[in-house]
């Protein structure tokens, strides 16, 4: 029954005779059959060429001659000819074993699927989904209600006071007390930011993302935006890393591997670092700006503008071929609860492993810098820079921390929102969002794209973020609006 | 280089450039040392056909599964035990053919060329058999110990697709097993066939 007579695809006679000639020359041992090696050689596969060149030595040039001779006999590339033969055989087999019942009238899922892809209905649907998922679910529920509950009530009224009392009673030295429960304390800053502010936001985002991912909406979104993305050097394929970036840019930078060309990978990495706020940042900024709808609008417009402008310029400047895009559409499905929970859980675990140590390290470093007076020196140096874009001195700290973690910086902004005017909030939010990716994301950029590309992106972003912040402040104060 | 005339013009140039870049960067290669002695079961197939779902079922491990092509960007490896015999199960990123275009596909092909698997499970979406069979034919052509897994049989049946499994087995000359990886149906037979197949592999390699 098994492996009795395995099927053999018969190719064009000139290809069959080339296979015969090449296999006669192959003496080395390969993991796949000589026939298969010969076929891959005929199709110019670089991996197999390298293997055969190493294994066959002088015979490789004879093999090359056979390949070239065969290629000249065909009007199309041999890879195309061979692929067509395989596809023909596959179609013949399918015709003999598969029967398809006559199509029924399109079901609801089919109609919904078409509506998601059609630009006239697809973009309104996209806006609705973004509004419901990002604004209502992640913004209002995650960043608003959950953070109020966990940070305000749980940490603010119970956990932090309890430990502050405990530490104050048992540790006589003020500087050591500060290490745990001071302004930059491991508990009062590090753990509070990570667990009480960032985790609820990122957690709700990952939950929503898992549902969307499982439903099959993302491939449809890819088709919808493919035309637009082609203008900025990407294709619909870039949807997954970019949407995932709204959760965690570090994770998304890793996922840019799925892009087909190096050029797409570089552009996607750049846009993630520049114009895609991660959930921690996004949630905090939505919460901070929710009292200033005009500032929120300005922030959104500047971000979209930067995304399109920088993508467009990058696609002009970076060399490389224009990408092509083909994606199969999986059916729309009801997401499975167990799958969603597992996925959300694994992402949150990944995130916490990534984030908690860094938050604690930042608290420790900040405490040490503060104790030694270095902090004040750095902040003194940063003040002219934040002053240059029209922000008060205290925001220097937000930017300093924003370098360690995007969401950390944003969480700092959350703490001082009442001290800033609408214009200052808009400028701070825009600059902070565009500003440097966090350390973890930068490390991932180095790992995935190489140190030179990562540094170039880094330098560009610092200059771009502050220039835009400066211009925005000049324009907004120039026309005298209060947001 | 002389070969360029006979290969797809854009793809070929791109691959050469890409490989050069990779060398310096050196993404850590997957480390299989822990399971080196175990016979390997390699899962391959187009993106989004349920390789990771099958992997999770077979090993009880967790690989991220989603309804989006190309989610598996790294290689996952787990173990599974059948009738007391232990296997290393390797989940690969999606590939469309033995002639890869993206880095992800290259990873899958390298696994095929270098890992000497005891068994290759070609996982396909039963709804799109016609598009996926060319890779099956290539795997058979390569003399790899391959089984064809028709996944998502439930969805295929829902839209009225019927596949004559016995006929397909006869035509291809390899085992064909229908399953629903997310629900676990068809797995009893799958396990039995893997066991049977692997057993014969061992016998024949002993000769």
The string of pLDDT tens digits covering residues B59-118 is 876 665 555 555 555 677 788 877 778 888 888 888 888 877 666 777 788 888 877 888
Residue A346 carries which DSSP code?
H
DSSP string, B39-83: PEEEEE-STTSSHHHHHHHHHS------SSTT---S-EEEEEEET
Residues 45-84, chain B, touching A (beta carbon < 8 A): 46-48, 62, 64-70, 73
Mind listing the pLDDT tens digit for each residue in A455-477? 999 999 999 999 999 999 999 98
Min distance A141 CA to chain B CA atoms (Å): 25
Rg (C-alpha) for chain B, rounded Å, is 17
Q: In this model, does residue A284 exceed pLDDT 70?
A: yes
Contact B113/A51, CB-based, under 8 Å? yes
Q: Identify the CA nearest to A430 among candidates A479, A363, A376, A483.
A: A483
- CB-CB neighbors (< 8 A) of B144 in chain A: 32
Contact B12/A99, CB-based, under 8 Å? no
Claim: this prediction has a pTM higher than 0.80: no
Tell how far CA A219 is from the center of its chain.
Answer: 16
- CB-CB neighbors (< 8 A) of B200 in chain A: 2
DSSP string, A392-444: -TTHHHHHHHHHH-HHHHHHHHHHTGGGS-HHHHHHHHHHHHHS---HHHHHH
Contact B12/A86, CB-based, under 8 Å? no
Q: How far apart are CA B19 and CA B42, in angstroms?
A: 24
Residue of B6, B70, B160 lying closest to A258 (CB–CB): B70
Q: What angle do CA A78, A46, A75 make, to 5 degrees?
A: 15
Q: Does residue A397 or residue A25 have the better pLDDT?
A: A25
The residue written with tokens 């009880």 in the block is: B60
Task: Tell me the mean pLDDT in the region B31-55.
Answer: 76
Task: Tell me the mean pLDDT in the region B1-21.
Answer: 30
- CB-CB neighbors (< 8 A) of B47 in chain A: 328
- Provide the number of CB pairs (under 8 Å) joining chain A to chain B: 211
Burial (0-12, 13-18, 19+ Cβ within 10 Å), A29? exposed
Task: Tell me the mean pLDDT in the region A341-368.
Answer: 83
Q: How far apart are CA A139 and CA A142, in angstroms?
A: 6
Residue of A39, A213, A262 lying closest to B66 (CB–CB): A213
Contact A45/B14, CB-based, under 8 Å? no
User: How would CATH label the architecture of B29-206?
Assistant: 3-Layer(aba) Sandwich (3.40)
Mind listing the pLDDT tens digit for each residue in A131-183? 898 888 888 888 888 988 998 889 888 888 999 899 888 888 888 888 888 87
Q: How far apart are CA A303 and CA A472, in angstroms?
A: 12
Mind listing the pLDDT tens digit for each residue in A231-282? 888 888 888 889 888 888 888 888 888 787 889 999 999 999 999 988 878 8
Contact A79/B99, CB-based, under 8 Å? yes
Percentage of residues of chain B with pLDDT beyond 90: 28
pLDDT (0 to 100) of residue B27: 35
CB distance B74 to B108 below 8 Å: no
Q: Are strands B76-82 and B85-91 parallel, antiparallel or unpaired?
A: antiparallel
Model confidence at A1, pLDDT cuts 50, 70, 90, reads very low
For chain B, the structural domain boundaries read 29-206
- CB-CB neighbors (< 8 A) of A328 in chain B: 46-48, 69, 128, 131
pLDDT (0 to 100) of residue B33: 40
* Residues forming beta bridges with residue B41, ordered by sequence position: B89, B119
Report helix, strand or coil for B178: strand
Report helix, strand or coil for B88: strand
Task: Tell me the mean pLDDT in the region B173-195.
Answer: 91
- Beta strand residue intervals within A18-175, DSSP E: 98-100
Q: How far apart are CA A35 and CA B147, in angstroms?
A: 20
For chain A, the structural domain boundaries read 13-92, 119-478
Highest mean pLDDT range out of A1-5, A394-398, B17-21, B28-32? A394-398
Model confidence at A283, pLDDT cuts 50, 70, 90, reads confident
pLDDT (0 to 100) of residue B7: 32
CATH of domain A13-92: 1.10.287.1770
DSSP string, A248-301: -HHHHHHHGGGSSSHHHHHHHHHHHHHH---HHHHHHHHHHHTT-HHHHHHHHH
């Amino acid at each position: 029954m098994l492996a009795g007579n395995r099927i053999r695809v018969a190719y064009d006679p000139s290809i069959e005779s080339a296979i015969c000639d090449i296999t006669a020359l192959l003496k080395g041992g390969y993991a796949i059959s000589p026939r298969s090696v010969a076929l891959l050689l005929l199709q110019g596969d670089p991996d197999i060429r390298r293997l055969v060149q190493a294994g066959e030595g002088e015979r490789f040039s004879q093999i090359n001659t056979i390949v070239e001779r065969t290629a000249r006999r065909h009007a199309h590339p041999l890879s195309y000819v061979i692929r067509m033969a395989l596809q023909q055989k596959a179609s013949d087999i399918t015709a003999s074993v598969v029967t398809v019942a006559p199509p029924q009238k399109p079901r609801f899922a089919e109609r919904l699927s078409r509506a998601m892809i059609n630009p006239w209905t697809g973009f309104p649907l996209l806006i609705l989904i973004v509004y419901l998922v990002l604004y209502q679910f992640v913004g209002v529920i995650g960043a608003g209600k959950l953070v109020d509950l966990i940070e305000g009530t749980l940490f603010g009224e119970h956990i932090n006071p309890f430990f502050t009392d405990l530490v104050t009673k048992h540790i006589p030295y003020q500087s050591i007390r500060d290490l745990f429960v001071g302004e930059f304390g491991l508990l009062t800053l590090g753990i509070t930011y990570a667990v009480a502010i960032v985790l609820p936001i990122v957690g709700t985002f990952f939950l929503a993302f898992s549902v969307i991912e499982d439903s099959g909406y993302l491939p449809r979104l890819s088709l919808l935006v493919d035309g637009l993305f082609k203008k900025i050097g990407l294709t619909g394929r870039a949807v997954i890393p970019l949407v995932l970036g709204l959760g965690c840019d570090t994770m998304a930078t890793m996922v840019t591997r799925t892009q087909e060309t190096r050029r797409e990978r570089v552009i996607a990495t750049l846009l993630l670092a520049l114009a895609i706020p991660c959930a921690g940042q996004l949630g905090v900024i939505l919460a901070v700006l929710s009292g200033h709808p005009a500032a929120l609008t300005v922030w959104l417009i500047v971000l979209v503008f930067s995304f399109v402008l920088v993508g467009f310029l990058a696609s002009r400047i970076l060399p490389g071929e224009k990408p092509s895009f083909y994606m199969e559409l999986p059916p729309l499905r009801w997401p499975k609860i167990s799958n969603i929970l597992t996925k959300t859980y694994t992402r949150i675990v990944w995130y916490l492993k990534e984030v908690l140590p860094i938050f604690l390290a930042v608290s420790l470093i900040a405490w040490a810098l503060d104790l030694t007076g270095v902090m004040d020196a750095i902040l003194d140096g940063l003040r002219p820079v934040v002053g240059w874009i029209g922000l008060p001195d205290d925001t220097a700290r937000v930017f300093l921390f924003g370098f360690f973690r995007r969401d950390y910086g944003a969480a700092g902004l959350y703490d001082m929102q009442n001290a800033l005017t609408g214009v200052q909030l808009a400028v701070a939010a825009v600059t902070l969002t565009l500003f440097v990716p966090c350390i973890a994301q930068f490390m991932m950029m180095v790992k995935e794209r190489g140190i030179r590309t990562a540094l170039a992106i880094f330098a560009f972003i610092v200059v771009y973020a502050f220039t835009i912040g400066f211009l925005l402040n000049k324009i907004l104060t120039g026309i005298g609006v209060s947001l | 280089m002389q070969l360029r005339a006979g290969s797809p013009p854009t793809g070929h140039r791109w691959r050469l450039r890409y490989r050069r870049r990779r060398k310096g960067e050196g993404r850590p290669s997957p480390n299989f040392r822990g399971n080196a002695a175990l016979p390997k079961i390699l899962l391959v197939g187009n993106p989004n056909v349920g390789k990771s779902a099958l992997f999770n079922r077979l090993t009880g491990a967790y690989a991220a599964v989603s309804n989006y092509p190309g989610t598996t960007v790294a290689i996952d490896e787990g173990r599974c035990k059948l009738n007391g015999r232990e296997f290393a199960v390797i989940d690969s990123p999606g590939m469309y053919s033995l002639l890869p275009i993206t880095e992800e596909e290259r990873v899958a092909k390298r696994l095929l060329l270098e890992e000497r698997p005891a068994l290759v499970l070609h996982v396909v979406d039963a709804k799109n058999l016609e598009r996926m069979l060319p890779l099956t034919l290539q795997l058979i052509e390569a003399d790899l110990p391959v089984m064809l897994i028709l996944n998502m049989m439930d969805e295929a049946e829902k839209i009225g697709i019927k596949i004559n499994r016995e006929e397909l087995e006869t035509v291809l000359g390899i085992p064909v097993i229908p399953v629903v990886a997310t629900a676990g149906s068809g797995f009893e037979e799958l396990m039995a066939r893997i066991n049977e197949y692997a057993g014969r592999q061992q016998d024949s390699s002993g000769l």
